[in-house]
Amino acid sequence: MPHGEMTPQPERTETMTPETPITVSGSRPELETRPLARRVGLIILATDHTSEPDFHRMVASERIGVYVARVPYANPTTPDNLRRMQPTLTNGAGLILPGEELDAICYSCTAASAVIGDAEVAAAINEAKPGVPVVTPPLAATRGLRALDAKRISILTPYTVETSRPMAAYFERSGFDIASFTCLGLEDDREMARIAPEAIVELAREAMAPDAEALFVSCTALRAAVVVPHMERALGRPVVSSNLATAWNCLRLCGDAAPRHKLGQLMTLPLGQG
């Protein structure tokens, strides 16, 4: 063989492995109407750390499923940035179990709901999910405060003054007398989520007016729902937080009226007509 030529290699014969036989079952299992009896849709901000864990803790069960979609959002938390979410709500709602019915759907942003308006939020969501009851945090909070028979209230928000003003106007339009309104001046919802729950209890003490009948702690980013019972003990009056209110409202819309004393006074009450 001339120098530099390759030695011929013997041809390889590939062994064919027989395919594993797959049998189609002759049994056709009966299909239930739904995997879970009730369905709650939850639309949250792309940056939200708190709503989803709160809903899984307070709403989800063997009977109720919570199904989540996230919509684009960019800080800072200003009225203009909040308003920019409105066109995304139809798309977000449409991503939650497309073509299937829901028992309730919550848009989990308190400040944006106050800026955009409950009717406008509902209209955008119902484009994708016609006829589904739409819950917003401020709407659920007003229902909760009425269920608690509270008319004169204190409000605590983590927002700036600019972002808090639409919230004050919302509750005033809803017929509440605001005894005091305190804000923390934060602009980033991710920072709002990092406030320790124990610190929220102390902030509630400072924010509660002596003559207020209840406290509303606004913002779905705040980890306030988990310490509502602690705030109620510290203040001696009812406390409603954004996520507690929406969880309560969605549970009642799902026909779940079981009192949950460990979650606060609101969770022991039925959903009224307000």
CA angle 130, 113, 76 (to 5 degrees): 130
- Residue-level pLDDT at 16: 78
38-136+245-259 matches 139-242 in fold = yes
Rounded to an integer, what distance in angstroms lies between the CA atom of residue 55 and that of residue 232? Answer: 21
Rounded to an integer, what distance in angstroms lies between the CA atom of residue 245 and that of residue 249? Answer: 6
Give the predicted TM-score (pTM) of the model. Answer: 0.91
- Residue-level pLDDT at 11: 65
Sequence spans of domains, the chain: 38-136+245-259, 139-242
Over residues 70-123, the pLDDT tens digits come to 999 999 999 999 999 999 999 999 999 999 999 999 999 999 999 999 999 999
- Residue-level pLDDT at 273: 56
Rounded to an integer, what distance in angstroms lies between the CA atom of residue 127 and that of residue 75? Answer: 27
- Residue-level pLDDT at 6: 64
Rounded to an integer, what distance in angstroms lies between the CA atom of residue 53 and that of residue 60? Answer: 10
Rounded to an integer, what distance in angstroms lies between the CA atom of residue 124 and that of residue 87? Answer: 7
- Residue-level pLDDT at 274: 53
Low-confidence ranges of the chain (pLDDT < 70): 1-14, 273-274
CATH topology of domain 139-242: Rossmann fold (3.40.50)
Any idea which architecture 38-136+245-259 has in CATH? 3-Layer(aba) Sandwich (3.40)
Identify the helix (H) or strand (E) that includes residue 42: strand 38-45
Rounded to an integer, what distance in angstroms lies between the CA atom of residue 243 and that of residue 114? Answer: 15
Over residues 33-58, the pLDDT tens digits come to 999 999 999 999 999 999 999 999 99
Phi then psi dihedrals of residue 108, to 5 deg: -95, 65
